[in-house]
Chain A
C-alpha cells in the first residue's frame, strides 16, 4: 500500500498535500482500492466554505457512494474537472492526477492536527 511521506492524512482516508497557502486533497491508495472501480465523482462548488470533517464530495464506485470529508476548515478554491470525464483517474493515480479539490485552509497550522504517513500506516493496521 503506497503512502507518500510528503503529505498529511485523515482517519477517513483523505490525503492533504500543502502547496503554498493551499492544500490539494484526494483519497488514499488504500481507499481507492477498497472502493473498487470509481465511476463518478460529485465535486464541491468552488468558493464553498467548509468546516473540518464536513462531507463535501462524493466518490461513487460500482459498489457504493462514499462521502469525502474536508481534512481542515477553509475555502474550496479549485476542483479537478478532469474527474467529470475520467473518474477512473482516482484508481489509476490517487496521489497525483486523481486529486479531487484544492482548499485554502483557514489556518495552515490546522494541518498539524492530521496524521503523518507513519500515523496513517498505524491507523490502517488498526483497521485491518
Chain B
C-alpha cells in the first residue's frame, strides 16, 4: 500500500476544475521559497554522534527547574517516586478501565485520588479528573447551571483570564451568559446577584495571588439561589480552609502543582469536587467502592448511565475520558508527602514568596500591586515593560516576571516562589532585576 493521498489522475481532475494548468500554476501566488523551500540538512551521522549533538543543544536551554513564573504553571519538586510509579505498566497502559475485572488496581487508585481531592476541598465527592483547571471550571459551572436550571454566570475578574476564556467558549455553546465582576483593590467585591444567575465563581488565591474571603461571596450566591463555584490551587488547601467549609458548592482547580512537571504547559489534570446532592450532575467518571456477592471489597465505575458512551447526546458532558494518569500522579504525590509534608511544602513556598516580595520592593521604581495577605504568587508594578524585563532576566539565566494582562493594569508582572527557592536564589533574582531595571 502506498501513502500517496492523490493520484496523478485526481490531481489532473482537480486542476481542470479550478482552471489551472499545473500545480506550479496553482501555487503561483505563493512566494517561491515557501512552496519549495531548500532544506539544508547535515550529512548523515552515526546515532551516538546525533545523541551527543542533541545533548549539546539541550545544554543551551535555560534550566527551568527554579522558575519564578506562576499564573497557572509553577515549578515544584517532584519526588522521584511519583515518576517511578507512574511509569509502571499497570498505570501507564490501562486507558479507560471499563472492565472492572481487569482494572481493580487502577480503579482503586482512582478511588484514592477522588478521596484525597474530596478531603482537600472539604466536599463530599470528586470525579476521576478533568483535563485541566480551565476545563474543570467550565464543567463545574455547567453543573451549577444544570442544577439550578438558570443560564447566568457571574465570574470574578480574579479568576485566571485564560480560564475565563475557556469558560466563555463553553458557555457560548450552550447559550449561557457570562458577566465579569471587576476586582476592587485586588479582591472580589461581594456582588448583587441578579435573578437568573445560576453560578457565582471566584478564585482563591486569585490570579493576582491575593487571598479572597470566599464566605460572603458564597452567601451572596446562595441568597439568590445560585451555586458558588470556587477555583482553588490544591497546594493552598494544605494551609487554607477548604472551599467546602467556606460555603462552596463546587470546587475546581488545576493539579499541576501536585507532582507534575512543568512540561511546556502540559499535560495537567483538573479536579472537580462537589456535594453528594449534585452527584447525578457530575460530568465524567466516578469510581465507587462496593462489596461483591462474597462480601469482598471491590471498586467499580458508578453513575455510568449518565456518561457519553451510554447516553450519547444527552450525556452530562462531552468529556468522555479524563486525565487518568496525571491525576494518579497527583494522588501518588499526595500519598508520598502526606498531609504534613504537603503543609511543609506549602508553608515554605509562602515564606519564600513573602521574602522575595520584600527583597524586590527594595528596588527603585518597583511597587506592590497584590494586596496582602497573599499566598505564594504576587504581582508587582515595574518601572519598565514586563515583556522586556522577562526577556532581559532570561538572558541572565532566570525565568521570572510573567507579564500580567492589561485588564488588571499597566506594567504588572507576576512572580512566584516555591519550596525549591533558597535564599540565594531569591537574592540572585533581586540582583538580576536590579541590573535589568538600572
A40: contacting residue among B149, B280, B310, CB under 8 A: B280
In the complex, A65 has a CB within 8 A of chain B: yes
Q: Are A64's CB and B314's CB within 8 A?
A: no
Residues of the B chain whose Cβ atoms lie less than 8 Å from the Cβ of A65? 305-306, 310-311, 314
Q: Nearest residue in A to B279 (C-beta to C-beta)? A: A40
Q: Does A51 contact B (CB under 8 A)?
A: no
B contact residues around A85 at 8 Å (CB) = none
Complex Cα spacing A45 to B311, Å: 22
Residue of B nearest to A60 (CB): B305
Return A55 CB to nearest CB of chain B, in Å. 8
Closest chain A residue to B305 by CB distance?
A65
**Chain A: how many interface residues by the 8 Å CB criterion?**
10
In which size bucket is the chain B interface? under 10
Query: For the complex, is A121 an interface residue (Cβ under 8 Å from B)?
Result: no
Residues of chain B lying within 8 A (CB to CB) of residue A60: 280, 305-306
CB proximity to A under 8 Å, residues B293-307: 305-306
Write out the residue numbers on chain A whose beta carbons fall within 8 Å of the beta carbon of B306.
Answer: 60, 65
User: Which one of A45, A64, A67 lies within 8 Å of B310 (CB-CB)?
Assistant: A64
CA distance A64 to B306 in the complex (A): 8
| Min CB gap B24→A, angstroms | 57
Residue on A nearest B310 in the bound complex, by CB? A64
Q: Which residues of B contact A97 (CB under 8 A)?
A: none
A-side contacts of B305, CB under 8 Å: 60-65
> Is the C-beta of A42 less than 8 angstroms from some C-beta in chain B?
yes
Q: Which residues of B contact A61 (CB under 8 A)?
A: 305
Report the separation of the CA atoms of residues A60 and B280 in the bound assembly, to the nearest whole angstrom: 10
| A:5-44 near B, CB below 8 Å | 40, 42
Closest to A67 in B: B314
Task: Using known A-B contacts A60-B305, A64-B305, A65-B305, determine if residue A42 contacts B280 with beta carbons closer than 8 Å.
Answer: yes
| Distance, CA A74 to CA B375, complexed state (A) | 56
Which residues of A lie under 8 Å from residue B311 when comparing CB positions?
64-65
Chain A proximity of B315: nearest CB distance (Å) = 9
Please name all residues of chain A whose beta carbon is closer than 8 Å to the beta carbon of B314 when the two chains form the complex: 65, 67
5 contacts between A and B (CB under 8 A): A64-B310, A65-B306, A65-B311, A65-B314, A67-B314
Residues of B within 8 A of A (CB): 149, 280, 305-306, 310-311, 314
Given contacts A45-B149, A65-B311, 12 further A-B contacts (CB under 8 A): A40-B280, A42-B280, A60-B280, A60-B305, A60-B306, A61-B305, A62-B305, A63-B305, A64-B305, A64-B310, A64-B311, A65-B314
